[in-house]
Amino acid sequence: MTKDLRRDFYYGKNILLTGGSSGIGLALARQLVARGANVWLAARDRVKLESACRELRAAAPDPAQSIGSAAADVAVESQARSAAEQAAQELGPLDLLINNAGTSHPGYFLGMEAKIFRETMDTNYFGTLNMTRAVVPEMVRRGKGHIVMVSSAAAYLPIFGYSSYAPAKCAVRGLSDALRSELKPLGIRMTIAMPPDTDTPSLEREKKIRPRELDIISSTSSVYPPEAVARDILSGVERNRYIVITGFEMNLFYWLTNLLGPFQYPVIDLIVADAIRKVKSAESKKPARV
């Protein structure tokens, strides 16, 4: 361990990270461990969690670092609370909670079953709410702590095909905004990350089922590596930034949607109309079935 590591902002910090077994969550865990943090992962897949922990322990620069996990579905309040209690028992008082667990299921509104909307809301919103409620009381008692909400670009730019996902991420943003003003006087800081499409296993699964119009719309923007998104989130926390958005183009979209106000909707309508036209054109060129 080098002297520089001891001066790192994250060195010795106790961190609970949900959805940490893959994608952005695993990228965050790798970077936190490399910077000397004690990290506790919570996710549903026990096998992936154990694999992630083995990797993180092998890469830890300080043998004194604590790294562990709890298999938990954060959408279930009792499991979220149990994971938070385990993290505090093993690591000590938590300095940072990163609510990263989430799921997406794009599709046509008329073609999705009601359970998809409920499951998406349960994981993205209630999972975030459950874990935050489990951790905040102790942070308030100590008068310090930091909570990260990982929302999505869909929270400020809801688009065709995300009628189950966008509302859930908008709810996360609403919760974050409300807590920011309520918890700040109590010494708790908040950060909300709204990442764009990110090269993760979740995105690969999503591509197999999402509407073709969404594919066309999404193709106009970049897909970012999870490592870049993770770096931006950790930098944002370190600098005490509230909003973290990755990429110049996504920052531009964020400011444009705010500046345009209601005038954003005709622009979105044009983009969607173009995508629909392209899908119909492609379908008309398919050879007729005999």
Active site residues: 151, 165, 169
285 burial type by CB count under 10 A (0-12 exposed, 13-18 middle, 19+ buried): exposed
The pair of structure tokens assigned to 84 is 């938070």
Q: What is the 3-state secondary structure (H, E, C) of 40-105?
A: EEEECCHHHHHHHHHHHHHHCCCCCCCEEEEECCCCCHHHHHHHHHHHHHHHCCCCEEEECCCCCC
Tell me the chain's radius of gyration from C-alpha atoms.
Answer: 20
Task: In whole angstroms, give the CA distance from residue 87 to residue 165.
Answer: 29
**Residue written as token pair 């994608």:** 23
